[in-house]
């Protein structure tokens, strides 16, 4: 078939797209791996492959497409539709609408689990805990077991959750996880085992799943041959983007879905693996070909279509210094005279000023805000920039920051919906009941105990007499739950919850009016989903990008700047990219220098950041930056040096600039100032001891 869309691809890309074309009607062929560097068209190739399968006769309802974020999934669906339209014309829309199984691993897991709930002993109404809820539940259990009291150096709820999650996702026994990653917690192995056992029991009693459960239960479900066959049999093709960031559990799920790899396509870049802290392992992608007999077909791509030669040379220089890597260097035909810039600035305020100036200059030359992005290692690094953008009225959207959903009032509303769906969800129930006057933690706990034991918890709740001093607020609460639960159609249910919540909001918060606006925004977001259940699941798994509250929510068609953590910038590209705090302590992060493997992952992070840029790249190096206090140290300023990933030998790839011109400090000077600063803070704290 001579089709226009194939002609735009290079030979290697086309080979990947056409792999298995000899199978009639777009049926499944043997396993395929596309492994290649950044910007080489992996995602684009995957979209073409899906389109090609559909055009060749594959049933889109039987295609499972897994991406790293929901945003990536919907972008992919749009691309597939555009490509299909070249052949199918107006029918393309109908075909690609049927591409209903496109999403993240966790999102797809949640859908399958609900679908098979009855067969695997799950209650269909299960709710999903985000990390914070999970930590809260872990804490509750920790208290109940008395570990937090007797052992006052017992790991924090966050650490407990990390250990648990690591063990689950890497399928590694607890003692090994402790030895490898949390040696300082090894002494508590026995208690941790007990804690985790109770945690699992608590989740089951409350009918909640956490993030890890979505994969774990899915994997468990796949270990039952009859169900595995049924689930795997739903799909002719399973395609996965960003495969380098999957963990062992995810790969075992895939292998169980498609034993022998028939119909399986995975795509990724080992040099961009940045999620090992969630137990992702590049072994998945490296071992993929030989997992199968006969082995998988491998396609490598070496031409980069995204960046200029100067940007690519610098990025290649950085990743060349990595200890280990497998994909080769890329080349590009996009020639440019402009080298990436390394800009020294005095501090984070100057950094923000510089970037805002450049962004506005760029806009003068016709580059929209949307074509520009500011990236950073940690979400809080963008604080000073957000202030400056707000002051100058420049709209922005922040990716990977959860500000909006993290705010108390939004969490309250979500808890109301969750509790109505699943009255056994203790974390949600706890949160809600304590909003009612007269109800404290003890009363809430007792009520929850009573209703959890009942097969009809919501009915049981209605029977409970109003707690003293709760007055009319109690029946209002119970009625709201029943009404939401009854379901008068989505999204009107969220309106019911809001009407119930607003008086409480007014009582608790002084700035109730601004918060009310957020709740309306939440309703707006909710209207984009088909049901309560879908809304709660998707929102918990992959929250929509937080918009800047201060400068108002930009409308969809409005121009706005993107702020993003490097982790959330995966797979994306912009004409101009600024990277904040390109200094030791930020990248590599102070927290990421424990082991060689961690340092290497930080290097790959820098590579990911640099390879997002198409035309212009600015790496910022403030000489001083602000460190949010670790408990022991307090907030402080730190005098910083250029990141170790750009040693003097790589400077040839950059144009160095200082703004405004600042005197370079020697190491000795830096050290001296650093020292003085820390001494002072220590002294200050000493005053209170
Ligand atoms: P990453 O590793 O960052 O995820 P990627 O390998 O997935 O990158 P894509 O995002 O698919 O790369 O493609 C990068 C850019 O190159 C996109 O703008 C895409 O449209 C363009 N591109 C890819 N293949 C071609 C091609 N054959 N001809 C022209 N442009 C292409
Ligand atoms: Mg990609």
Phi/psi of residue 116, each to 5°? -105, 10
pLDDT, residue 236, reads 97
Judge if 91 and 231 occupy the same domain.
yes
The number of domains in the chain is 4
Q: What is the percent of the chain where pLDDT is above 70? A: 89
Q: Calculate how far, in angstroms, residue 645's C-alpha sits from the geometric centre of ligand 1.
A: 26
In this structure, the residue with its CA closest to atom 14 of ligand 1 is 39
Of 57-61, 326-330, 518-522, 673-677, the range with the lowest mean pLDDT is 673-677
Is the ipTM, as predicted for this complex, more than 0.90? yes
In this structure, the residue with its CA closest to atom 18 of ligand 1 is 306
Greater pLDDT, 490 or 406: 490
Judge if 410 and 505 occupy the same domain.
yes
Instruction: Identify whether 678 is part of a domain.
Output: no
Q: Calculate how far, in angstroms, residue 86's C-alpha sits from the geometric centre of ligand 1.
A: 19
According to the 3-state scheme, what is the secondary structure of 411-442? Answer: HHHHHHHHHHHCCCCHHHHHHHHCCCCCCCHH
**Residue 399: Cβ within 10 Å count:** 20
Angle at 198 between CA 194 and CA 199, to 5 degrees: 115
- 197: Cβ contacts below 8 Å, ≥ 6 apart: none
Q: Which atom of ligand 1 is nearest to the CA of 40?
A: 6
Instruction: Identify whether 23 is part of a domain.
Output: yes
Judge if 456 and 592 occupy the same domain.
no
In this structure, the residue with its CA closest to atom 29 of ligand 1 is 305
Greater pLDDT, 656 or 553: 656
Q: Calculate how far, in angstroms, residue 592's C-alpha sits from the geometric centre of ligand 2.
A: 25
Ordered strands of the 32-36 beta sheet: 102-104, 63-67, 237-240, 264-268, 32-36, 297-301
Asked if the model's pLDDT at residue 169 lies above 90, the reply is: no
Give the chain's end-to-end CA distance (angstroms, integer). Answer: 80
- 79: Cβ contacts below 8 Å, ≥ 6 apart: 44, 47, 51
Q: Which atom of ligand 1 is nearest to the CA of 611?
A: 3
The H or E element spanning position 571 is: none
**Do residues 42 and 68 make contact, with C-beta atoms less than 8 angstroms apart?**
no
Phi/psi of residue 448, each to 5°? -65, -40
In this structure, the residue with its CA closest to atom 15 of ligand 1 is 306
**The model's pTM:** 0.83
Which of 17, 18, 44, 273 to mutate for ligand 1's pocket (most ligand atoms within 8 Å of CB)? Answer: 44
| Residue 52: half-sphere exposure toward Cβ, Cα within 13 Å | 27
Instruction: Identify whether 411 is part of a domain.
Output: yes
**Residue 503: Cβ within 10 Å count:** 13
Q: What is the percent of the chain where pLDDT is above 90? A: 53
Query: Domain of 389?
Result: 309-400+559-659
Instruction: Identify whether 685 is part of a domain.
Output: no
- Would strands 574-579 and 613-622 be described as parallel, antiparallel, or unpaired? parallel
Instruction: Identify whether 264 is part of a domain.
Output: yes
Judge if 360 and 409 occupy the same domain.
no
CATH number of the domain that residue 106 is part of: 3.40.50.300
Residues making up the chain, counted from first to last? 689
Ordered strands of the 396-399 beta sheet: 546-547, 396-399, 561-565, 372-376, 574-579, 613-622, 341-345, 655-658
Asked if the model's pLDDT at residue 687 lies above 50, the reply is: no
Mean pLDDT, to the nearest integer, of 142-167?
A: 84
Asked if the model's pLDDT at residue 686 lies above 70, the reply is: no
Judge if 135 and 233 occupy the same domain.
no
Judge if 426 and 523 occupy the same domain.
yes
Q: Which residue, 541, 571, 596, sits at the end of a domain? A: 541
Mean pLDDT, to the nearest integer, of 537-548?
A: 62
Which of 39, 605, 614 to mutate for ligand 1's pocket (most ligand atoms within 8 Å of CB)? Answer: 39
Asked if the model's pLDDT at residue 192 lies above 50, the reply is: yes
Mean pLDDT of all residues belonging to the chain: 86
Q: Which atom of ligand 1 is nearest to the CA of 47?
A: 11
Judge if 410 and 515 occupy the same domain.
yes
Q: Which residue, among 199, 203, 204, has the nearest Cα to 145 in the 3D structure?
A: 199
Burial of 310 (0-12, 13-18, 19+ CB in 10 A): buried
Q: Calculate how far, in angstroms, residue 570's C-alpha sits from the geometric centre of ligand 2.
A: 7
Per DSSP, the residues of 605-625 read HHHHHHTTEEEEEEEEEESEE
Q: Is 43 helix (H, G, I), strand (E, B) or coil?
A: helix
Judge if 536 and 442 occupy the same domain.
yes
Burial of 89 (0-12, 13-18, 19+ CB in 10 A): exposed
pLDDT, residue 310, reads 97
Judge if 135 and 200 occupy the same domain.
yes
Q: Which atom of ligand 1 is nearest to the CA of 46?
A: 11
Could you say which DSSP state residue 24 is in?
A: G
Residue ranges of the annotated binding site for ATP are 36-43
Tokens of 155: 């790991």
Judge if 76 and 142 occupy the same domain.
no
Could you say which DSSP state residue 330 is in?
A: P
According to the 3-state scheme, what is the secondary structure of 437-484? Answer: CCCCHHHHHHHHHHHHCCCCHHHHHHHCCCCCCCCCHHHHHHHHHHHH
pLDDT, residue 405, reads 67
Judge if 15 and 58 occupy the same domain.
yes
Mean pLDDT, to the nearest integer, of 57-62?
A: 94
Q: Calculate how far, in angstroms, residue 41's C-alpha sits from the geometric centre of ligand 2.
A: 7
Q: Which atom of ligand 1 is nearest to the CA of 8?
A: 27
Q: Which atom of ligand 1 is nearest to the CA of 304?
A: 16
Instruction: Identify whether 566 is part of a domain.
Output: yes
- pLDDT confidence tier of residue 222, bands split at 50, 70 and 90: very high
pLDDT, residue 6, reads 93
Asked if the model's pLDDT at residue 235 lies above 60, the reply is: yes
Ligand 2 ion: Cβ-proximal residues, 5 Å cutoff: 42-43, 571
pLDDT tens profile 621-646? 998 876 654 444 555 667 778 999 99
Mean pLDDT, to the nearest integer, of 95-110?
A: 88
Per DSSP, the residues of 643-680 read -TTS-GGGGGGSEEEESS--PPPPHHHHHHHHHHHHHH
Q: Calculate how far, in angstroms, residue 111's C-alpha sits from the geometric centre of ligand 2.
A: 24
Which of 36, 41, 327 to mutate for ligand 1's pocket (most ligand atoms within 8 Å of CB)? Answer: 41
Name the H helices within 225-329: 225-233, 248-257, 283-287, 309-320
Q: Calculate how far, in angstroms, residue 248's C-alpha sits from the geometric centre of ligand 2.
A: 21
Residue with tokens 């984009």: 528
Burial 216-240 (b: 16+ CB within 10 A, else e): bbbbebbeeeebbeebbeebbbbbb
Q: Which residue, 541, 572, 599, sits at the end of a domain? A: 541
pLDDT tens profile 363-403? 999 999 999 999 999 877 888 898 888 888 888 888 754 45
Burial of 176 (0-12, 13-18, 19+ CB in 10 A): exposed
Instruction: Identify whether 686 is part of a domain.
Output: no
Which of 47, 245, 305 to mutate for ligand 1's pocket (most ligand atoms within 8 Å of CB)? Answer: 305
Instruction: Identify whether 667 is part of a domain.
Output: no
pLDDT, residue 661, reads 54
CA pair distance 168, 173, nearest whole angstrom:
8
Instruction: Name all residues whose Cβ lies below 6 A of ligand 1.
Output: 8-10, 13, 38-44, 269, 272, 305-306, 571, 573
**Do residues 461 and 481 make contact, with C-beta atoms less than 8 angstroms apart?**
yes
**Do residues 222 and 231 make contact, with C-beta atoms less than 8 angstroms apart?**
yes
CA pair distance 565, 559, nearest whole angstrom:
20
Of 84-98, 439-453, 480-494, the range with the lowest mean pLDDT is 84-98
Q: Which residue, 171, 206, 241, sits at the end of a domain? A: 206
Burial of 683 (0-12, 13-18, 19+ CB in 10 A): exposed
Judge if 103 and 190 occupy the same domain.
no
């Amino acid at each position: 078939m001579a089709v226009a869309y194939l002609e735009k691809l290079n030979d290697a890309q086309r080979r990947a797209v056409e792999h298995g074309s000899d199978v009639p009607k777009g049926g499944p062929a043997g396993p395929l791996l596309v492994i290649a560097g950044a910007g080489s068209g992996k995602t684009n190739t995957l979209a073409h492959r899906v389109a090609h399968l559909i055009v060749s006769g594959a049933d889109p309802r039987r295609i499972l497409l897994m991406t790293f974020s929901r945003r990536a999934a919907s972008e992919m669906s749009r691309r597939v539709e555009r490509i299909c339209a070249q052949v199918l014309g107006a029918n393309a829309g109908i075909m690609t609408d049927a591409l209903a199984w496109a999403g993240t691993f966790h999102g797809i897991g949640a859908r399958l689990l609900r679908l098979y709930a009855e067969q695997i002993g799950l209650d269909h109404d299960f709710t999903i805990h985000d990390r914070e809820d999970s930590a809260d539940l872990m804490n509750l259990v920790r208290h109940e077991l008395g570990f937090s009291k007797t052992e006052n150096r017992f790991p924090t709820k966050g650490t407990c959750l990390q250990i648990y999650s690591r063990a689950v996702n890497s399928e590694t026994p607890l003692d090994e996880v402790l030895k490898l990653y949390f040696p300082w917690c090894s002494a508590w192995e026995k208690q941790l085992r007990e804690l985790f056992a109770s945690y699992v029991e608590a989740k089951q009693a409350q009918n909640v799943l956490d993030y890890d459960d979505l994969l774990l239960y899915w994997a468990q479900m796949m270990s039952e041959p009859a169900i595995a066959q049924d689930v795997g049999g739903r799909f002719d093709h399973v395609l996965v983007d960003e495969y380098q960031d999957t963990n062992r559990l995810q790969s075992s799920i895939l292998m169980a879905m498609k034993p022998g790899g028939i119909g399986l396509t995975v795509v990724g870049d080992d040099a961009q693996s940045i999620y090992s802290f969630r137990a992702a392992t590049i072994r998945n992608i490296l071992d993929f070909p030989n997992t199968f007999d006969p082995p998988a077909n491998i396609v490598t791509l070496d031409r980069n279509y995204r960046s200029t030669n100067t940007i690519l040379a610098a990025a290649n220089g950085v990743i060349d210094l990595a200890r280990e890597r497998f994909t080769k260097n890329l080349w590009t035909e996009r020639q440019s005279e402009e080298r990436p810039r390394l800009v020294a600035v005095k501090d984070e305020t100057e950094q923000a000023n510089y970037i805002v100036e450049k962004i506005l200059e760029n806009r003068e030359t016709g580059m929209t805000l949307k074509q520009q992005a500011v990236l950073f290692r940690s979400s809080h690094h963008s604080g000073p920039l957000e202030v400056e953008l707000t002051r100058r009225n420049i709209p922005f959207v922040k990716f990977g920051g959860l500000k909006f959903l993290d705010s108390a009032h939004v969490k309250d509303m979500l808890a109301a919906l969750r509790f109505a769906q699943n009255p056994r969800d203790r974390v949600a129930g706890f949160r809600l009941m304590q909003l009612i006057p007269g109800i404290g933690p003890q009363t809430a706990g007792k009520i929850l105990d009573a209703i959890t034991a009942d097969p009809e918890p919501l009915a049981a709740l209605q029977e409970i007499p109003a707690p003293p001093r709760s007055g009319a607020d109690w029946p209002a609460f119970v009625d709201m739950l029943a009404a939401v639960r009854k379901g008068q159609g989505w999204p009107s249910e969220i309106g019911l919850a809001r009407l119930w919540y607003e008086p409480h909001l007014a009582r608790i918060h002084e700035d109730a009016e601004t918060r009310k606006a957020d709740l309306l925004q939440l309703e707006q977001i909710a209207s984009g989903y088909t049901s309560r259940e879908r809304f709660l699941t998707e929102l918990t798994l992959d929250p929509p990008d937080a918009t800047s509250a201060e400068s108002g929510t930009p409308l969809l068609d409005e121009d706005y700047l993107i702020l993003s953590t490097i982790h959330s910038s995966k797979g994306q590209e912009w004409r101009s990219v600024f990277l904040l705090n390109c200094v030791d302590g930020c990248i590599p992060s102070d927290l990421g220098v424990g082991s060689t493997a961690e340092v290497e992952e930080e290097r790959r992070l820098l590579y990911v950041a640099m390879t997002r840029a198409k035309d212009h790249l600015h790496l910022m190096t403030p000489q001083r930056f602000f460190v949010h206090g670790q408990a022991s140290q307090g907030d402080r300023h730190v005098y910083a040096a250029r990141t170790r990933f750009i040693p003097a030998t790589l400077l040839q790839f950059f144009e160095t600039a200082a703004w405004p011109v600042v005197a370079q400090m020697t190491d000795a000077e830096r050290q001296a100032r650093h020292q003085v600063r820390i001494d002072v803070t220590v002294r200050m704290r000493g005053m209170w001891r």
